[in-house]
């Protein structure tokens, strides 16, 4: 194996000097921090500047911003009902951040923030913490009824532990889903890129054959663009579904 396809995921400090020390631990400004700053700046600048003039007939940029707003608002409304719209700023920020991180990661040579389990797990913990706080604020101790489905008592002995475990594994599955999709996709692109390089270097007829993995990379790239959007969407809609459970427990709205 000539090139290590996992090399693209290494986090490197950009400056030799640590930016600050927290309790004796040096905090470096890494390539990941840089991409995070770029993503946050680009997303917030685009969304604020595009709608600032408030044109009646929107330009392309403005209608993109408005469409994403309506898309997320509809998603929250359908998944968690009318009172889920209180959480619109949170879900919208989460969606746009994950979406932009995924798309910025697709640029060749850049760094995919969401391919780091630390980042996705922090986001997932944030979501679960919000769900728990919302549930207890809204229902008080009655929030624990979430773990008791409508069933005869002898089934509850089995069902309650299952419900508790499924609730506790949510941050893990939520974070690993996004992380694994990004990691697998980018590794696959790197492996096929390695095929192109080694075929091209082989000389003779093999150099011409290098076009085949090249075409495949283009197809995979398109698939990865779809996955990048889909994973951001799934992350946001699962947040809405978890929030819906915290807001309405088991009763259907």
Partner 1 sequence: MELAAAKMIGAGIACIALVGAGIGIGNVFGSYLSGALRNPGAAATQTTNLLLGFALCEATGLFGLVIALIILFT
How far is residue 138's CA from residue 147's CA, in Å, rounded to a whole number? 16
Closer to partner 1 by Cβ: residue 11 or 184: 184
Minimum CB separation of residue 178 from partner 1 in Å reads: 9
Closer to partner 1 by Cβ: residue 5 or 200: 5
Name residue, tokens 């609730």: 167
Name residue, tokens 């840089």: 34
**Secondary structure class of 20 (helix, strand, coil):** strand
How far is residue 12's CA from residue 142's CA, in Å, rounded to a whole number? 47
Site string for partner 1, 184-203 (x = CB under 8 A): x--x----------------
Distances (CA, A) of 137 to 67, 128, 134, 246, 250: 32, 14, 5, 10, 17
**Residue 26 CB-half CA count within 13 A:** 9
**Secondary structure class of 227 (helix, strand, coil):** helix
Please select the residue that binds partner 1; options are 183, 189, 217, 236, rule is CB under 8 A. Answer: 183
Please select the residue that binds partner 1; options are 127, 237, 246, 247, rule is CB under 8 A. Answer: 237
Report the site for partner 1 in 14-33 (rule: CB under 8 A): none
Interface with partner 1 by CB under 8 A: which range of 138-146, 154-162, 180-188, 193-201?
180-188
Q: Is 230 in the site for partner 1 (CB under 8 A)?
A: yes
Interface with partner 1 by CB under 8 A: which range of 45-53, 159-167, 208-216, 226-234?
226-234
Please select the residue that binds partner 1; options are 231, 236, 242, 246, rule is CB under 8 A. Answer: 231
Binding residue count for partner 1, defined by CB under 8 A: 21
Q: Is 78 in the site for partner 1 (CB under 8 A)?
A: yes
Please select the residue that binds partner 1; options are 181, 224, 239, 243, rule is CB under 8 A. Answer: 181
Minimum CB separation of residue 179 from partner 1 in Å reads: 8
Q: Read off the tokens for 232.
A: 């951001």
3-state secondary structure 38-93: HHHHHHHHHHHHHHCCCCCCCCHHHHHHHHHHHHHHHHHHHHHCHHHHHHHHHHHH
Q: Is 177 in the site for partner 1 (CB under 8 A)?
A: yes
Minimum CB separation of residue 21 from partner 1 in Å reads: 29
Residue 56, classified by CB atoms within 10 Å of its CB into exposed (0-12), middle (13-18) or buried (19+), is exposed
> Which helix (H) or strand (E) element contains residue 161?
helix 153-168
Residues of this chain that bind partner 1 (CB under 8 A): 4-6, 75, 78-79, 173, 176-177, 179-181, 183-184, 187, 230-231, 233-234, 237-238
């Amino acid at each position: 194996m000539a090139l290590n396809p996992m090399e693209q995921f290494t986090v490197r400090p950009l400056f030799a000097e640590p930016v600050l020390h927290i309790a004796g631990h040096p905090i470096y400004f890494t390539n990941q921090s840089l991409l995070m700053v770029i993503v946050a700046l680009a997303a917030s600048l685009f969304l604020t500047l595009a709608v600032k003039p408030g044109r009646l007939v929107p330009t392309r940029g403005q209608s993109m911003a408005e469409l994403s707003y309506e898309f997320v608002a509809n998603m929250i409304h359908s998944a968690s009902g009318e009172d889920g719209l209180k959480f619109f700023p949170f879900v919208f920020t989460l969606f746009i951040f994950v979406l932009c991180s995924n798309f910025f990661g697709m640029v060749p040579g850049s760094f995919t923030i969401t391919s780091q389990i630390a980042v996705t797990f922090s986001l997932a913990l944030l979501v679960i913490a919000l769900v728990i706080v919302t549930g207890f604020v809204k229902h008080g101790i009655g929030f624990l009824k979430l773990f008791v489905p409508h069933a005869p008592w002898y089934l509850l002995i089995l069902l309650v532990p299952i419900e508790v475990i499924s609730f506790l594994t949510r941050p893990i599955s939520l974070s690993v889903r996004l992380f694994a999709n990004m990691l697998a996709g980018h590794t696959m692109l790197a492996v096929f890129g390695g095929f192109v390089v080694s075929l091209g270097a082989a000389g003779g007829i093999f150099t011409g054959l290098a076009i085949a993995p090249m075409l495949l990379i283009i197809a995979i790239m398109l698939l990865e663009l779809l996955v990048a959007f889909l994973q951001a969407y799934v992350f946001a809609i699962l947040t809405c579904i978890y929030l819906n459970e915290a807001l309405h427990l088991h009763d259907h709205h």
